[in-house]
Structures are given as C-alpha cells and as structure tokens.
C-alpha cells in the first residue's frame, strides 16, 4: 500500500509499506478500510430511506395523483424504505463487528508502532551518542554532558512523538477509534520516512 506523507523536514514523500514487514499496520489498514466502507454504505442507506419516506409523504399529499396512483407510489415508497431499513440494520451490525475488529487491530498496530519507534529512537540515540562523544572527547569535555543533549535532541523528540498513546479504553466512540487508527497509520508512514534520514 502506498502512502504520501510529509517528512520530518516537511517535504512530501511517497513510501511503500509492505504487509510482511508491518503485519500490524497491514491489519489495521484493512480493518479501518472495511469499517469506513460499511460506514459509508450505512450513510447511503440512511439517505435512501429518508428519500423513500419523503416520496411516501409526497405521494400521500399529492392531489394530482389518482387514488390508485397514490396507493401504488405509497406502497412502492414504503417497500423501498423497508428494504433500506433492513439494510441499515445489517450495516449497523456489520459496523459493530468491524469496530470490535478495528479496536483489536488498533491495539496490535499501536504495539507494533511503539516497538518500531522505540527501536529507531534507540538506534538514533546510539548514533548521536557516538558523534557527541567524539566531539566532547576532541574538545576535552566530560562525557556526562552527553545525556542532557540527547534528551533535548529534535530528532529524538520527533521519534518519541511517533510513539502512540497508551492502551485503548473501551469507552471511546467509533469516531475516536477511527481517528486513532488514522493517526497510527500516518505515524507508520512518518516513521518509515524518519528511518531513511
């Protein structure tokens, strides 16, 4: 799956994130896509049901139609509305299942992201530590001065910002779960760019 992201330097870049390399991310992306697809279908059916209800009201109020024509249009509108209401119930049930799967995938994806970001941060800290130690030794300064510098490093701070928040709580709304999933997927892409710097 290809994503366009903004690099840590602010430039747009396209990255390829293979599913084999990031299985948690791949599962999260799949579950989020399915959830959004079913949510979109649900909104379409709700709009169609409202349209059928409006058609029924128009047919009922129309004085231009004969009684037989009104009855036919009302019956058709009621039948369509019932079909749409049934599909709405099906999509709501599917969304409920999708949300449970999305929460599970979000937990796995965030764990994978946290591990990847942590490893990259440790790798970067090691590189910075070595380079700073070289400079400090060349200047004849004390090595203990390295640790505060590492803590305030912009690159390390940006990597720490890619680490997702703590555990997922059950009281989150579907919108919050979707937002968190989208944020995690965005952070995966940013982390991939950060690893190349």
Cα–Cα dist 13/33, whole Å: 22
Q: Residue ranges of the chain with pLDDT lower than 50?
A: 1-3, 5, 7-8, 12-16
SS3 117: helix
> 38: closest CA among 105, 101, 81?
101
Please name the helix (run of DSSP H) or strand (run of DSSP E) that holds residue 55, with its range, or none: helix 23-61
pLDDT tens per residue across span 4-34: 545 445 554 444 456 777 899 999 999 999 9
pLDDT of residue 1: 43
pTM here? 0.71
pLDDT of residue 146: 63
Contact between residue 162 and residue 113 where contact means Cβ atoms under 8 Å apart: yes
pLDDT of residue 81: 94
Domains of the chain: 20-195 (1.20.1050)
Residues whose CB is less than 8 angstroms from the CB of residue 5 and which lie 6 or more positions away in sequence, other chains included:
12, 13, 14, 15, 186, 189, 190, 192, 193
Cα–Cα dist 93/91, whole Å: 5
């Amino acid at each position: 799956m290809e994503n366009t992201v903004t690099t840590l330097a602010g430039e747009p870049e396209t990255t390829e994130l293979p599913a084999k390399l990031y299985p948690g991310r791949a599962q999260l992306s799949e579950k989020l896509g399915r959830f959004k697809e079913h949510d979109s279908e649900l909104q379409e059916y709700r709009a169609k049901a409202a349209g059928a209800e409006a058609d029924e009201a128009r047919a009922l109020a129309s004085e231009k139609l004969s009684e037989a024509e009104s009855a036919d249009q009302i019956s058709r509108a009621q039948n369509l509305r019932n079909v749409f209401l049934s599909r709405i119930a099906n999509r709501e049930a599917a969304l409920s299942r999708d949300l449970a799967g999305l929460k599970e995938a979000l937990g796995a994806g965030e764990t994978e992201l946290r591990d990847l970001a942590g490893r990259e941060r440790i790798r970067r800290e090691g590189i910075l530590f070595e380079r700073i130690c070289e400079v400090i030794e060349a200047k004849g300064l004390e090595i203990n001065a390295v640790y505060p510098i590492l803590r305030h490093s912009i690159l390390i701070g940006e990597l720490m910002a890619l680490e997702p928040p703590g555990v997922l709580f059950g009281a989150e709304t579907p919108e919050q779960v979707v937002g968190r999933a989208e944020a995690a997927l965005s952070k995966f892409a940013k982390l991939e760019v950060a690893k190349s710097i």
